[in-house]
């Protein structure tokens, strides 16, 4: 069983749309989004899928997928 199966939504970053404004990093309540050369990176081991990053991104560069249940 995957360790993150408790999460309902998984955010993902659309790097072609991301402007590297860092708002997702600033607003993530868990602090699981960090900066890399290509842009923000989400640590899926710790992400709770709260979707704050999705709401705060002014460029709509973060979307979510619903987790599949087993």
The answer to whether residues 30 and 40 touch, using CB atoms and an 8 Å cutoff, is no
Reply yes or no on whether the pLDDT at 4 is more than 70.
Answer: no
Could you give the domains of the chain?
Answer: 9-65 (3.30.70.20)
Reply yes or no on whether the pLDDT at 1 is more than 60.
Answer: no
Report in angstroms the alpha-carbon separations of 59 from 2, 7, 12, 14, 46.
31, 24, 13, 10, 24
Query: Does residue 31 come out as left (phi exceeding 0), alpha (psi in the -120 to 50 range) or beta?
Result: left
Task: Say what the pLDDT of residue 24 is.
Answer: 98
**Which pLDDT tens digit goes with each residue over 8-66?**
889 999 999 999 999 999 999 999 999 999 999 999 999 999 999 999 999 999 999 98
Q: Is 64 helix (H, G, I), strand (E, B) or coil?
A: strand
pTM of the model: 0.83
């Amino acid at each position: 069983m995957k360790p993150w199966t408790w999460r309902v939504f998984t955010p993902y970053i659309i790097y072609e749309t991301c402007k590297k404004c860092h708002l997702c990093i600033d607003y993530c309540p868990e602090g699981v989004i960090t900066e890399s050369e290509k842009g923000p990176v989400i640590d899926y081991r710790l992400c709770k899928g709260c979707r704050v990053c999705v709401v705060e991104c002014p460029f709509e560069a973060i979307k979510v997928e619903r987790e599949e249940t087993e």
